[in-house]
Structure 1
Amino acid sequence: MIRARFGTLRGLVRLMLSYPQLAFGLSARRQPDPAQVRRLVFVCQGNICRSAFADVAARRLGMRAASFGLSTTTGRAAHGPAIVAAHGLGHDLSDHRALDLADYTPQQGDLLLAMEVRQLHRLAADPRLGDTPRLLLGQWTRPMMPHLHDPYELDDAYMATCLRRVEQAVGGLVSAFPGARLS
């Protein structure tokens, strides 16, 4: 049950720790002015599973979107099992190419949406991004899951579960940030 729902025991523990981090203001979130958000930028570790899928899902919903990874190789293809799971949800990740943080160009109106609290801390520490609004994508899942554990190299059941959660969260962003909609 833990593998299918949370990926690993570590994923469950990190999820449980993320709730008090949010509640006590220890997550390094930086609230946006929703009226100023013009682009949703999804962030994860490798930009080959979670953030790549969120980017594709947001674009499909008519949103301005981008994604990057905190530690990846620019140009890397999406992870094979992520491509398969995305296809099962009606999305195509086959053309996705990863973008590394070093190659990301911030724009005015960007909202950074990370998958994990520790990723918010890395974004806050980056001199180029310290003032950029940043939140956890999992705040838009129901029930709220502030930690969306990395499905890379985990089983197919968890990959599908994770991407369904990402898709649900992205759907919630459409009404929360109407300025990010394409004209």
Structure 2
Amino acid sequence: MIRRHFGTLRGLARLALSYPQLLLGLSASRRPDPRRVTRLVFVCQGNICRSAFADVAARRAGLRAASFGLSTTTGRAAHPPAIAAAQDLGHDLSDHRAIDLSDYVPEPGDLLLAMEVRQLHRLAADPRLRDLPRQLLGRWTWPMLPHLHDPYGLDDRYMAQCLRRIGVAVERLAISFPGARLS
């Protein structure tokens, strides 16, 4: 059960720790003004699974979107199990290429959406990004799961579960941030 729903025991522990961090204001979140958000920017570690899928799902939903990884190589292809799981959900990740943090160009109206609290802290520490609004993507899952554990190299069932959760979050983001819709 843990492997399918949380990836690993560490994933479950990080999820449990993320709730008090979020509730006590220790997550390094920075609230957006929904009227000013014009692009959703998804962030994870490698930009080959979670943020890659969120980017593709958001674009398919008619939203302005981008994604990048905090520690990756620009141009890297999506992870093959992520491509397969995305395809099962009706999305094509085969053309996705990772973008590293150093190659990401912020735009006015960007909302950074990270998968983990520690990623929010890293964004907050970056002088180029610290003033941008940033939230946990998991705030838009149902039920709310502030930590979306990295599925890279884990069970295929967890990969599918993680991407389904991200898909739900993207649908809910479309309602919360209508300014990010393509005109």
Q: Name the SS of the counterpart of 1:35 in structure 2.
A: coil
Give the C-alpha shift of residue 32 in structure 1.
Answer: 0.5
Amino acid at match of 2:25: G
Aligned equivalents of 1:141 and 1:114: distance in 2? 13
Give runs of aligned pairs for residues 43-58 of structure 1, distance below 5 A. Answer: 43-58=43-58
Aligned equivalents of 2:38 and 2:172: distance in 1? 16
Q: List alignment gaps of at least 5 residues for structure 2.
A: none
Q: Which string of whole-angstrom CA distances, capped at 9 and with x for unpartnered residues, describes residues 3-39 of structure 1? A: 0000000000000000000000000000000000000
Aligned equivalents of 2:121 and 2:170: distance in 1? 21
Give the C-alpha shift of residue 139 in structure 1.
Answer: 0.2
Q: Which string of whole-angstrom CA distances, capped at 9 and with x for unpartnered residues, describes residues 117-153 of structure 1? A: 0000000000000000000000001110000000000
Give the C-alpha shift of residue 40 in structure 1.
Answer: 0.1
TM-score (norm 2): 1.00
TM-score (norm 1): 1.00
- % identical aligned pairs: 79
Aligned equivalents of 1:100 and 1:143: distance in 2? 30
Give the C-alpha shift of residue 93 in structure 1.
Answer: 0.1
Aligned equivalents of 1:89 and 1:111: distance in 2? 25
Q: Name the SS of the counterpart of 1:26 in structure 2.
A: coil
Amino acid at match of 1:172: R
Aligned to 1:94: 94
Aligned equivalents of 1:33 and 1:77: distance in 2? 33
Amino acid at match of 1:110: D
Q: Which string of whole-angstrom CA distances, capped at 9 and with x for unpartnered residues, describes residues 84-121 of structure 1? A: 00000000000000000000000000000000000000
Q: Name the SS of the counterpart of 2:165 in structure 1.
A: helix
Give the C-alpha shift of residue 43 in structure 1.
Answer: 0.1
Runs of 4+ in 1 over 6 A off after TM superposition: none
Aligned equivalents of 2:13 and 2:169: distance in 1? 21
Q: List alignment gaps of at least 5 residues for structure 1.
A: none
Amino acid at match of 1:130: R
Q: Name the SS of the counterpart of 1:42 in structure 2.
A: strand
Q: Name the SS of the counterpart of 2:35 in structure 1.
A: helix
Q: Which string of whole-angstrom CA distances, capped at 9 and with x for unpartnered residues, describes residues 133-179 of structure 1? A: 00000000111000000000001000000000000001100010000
Aligned to 1:112: 112
Give the C-alpha shift of residue 63 in structure 1.
Answer: 0.1
Aligned to 2:30: 30
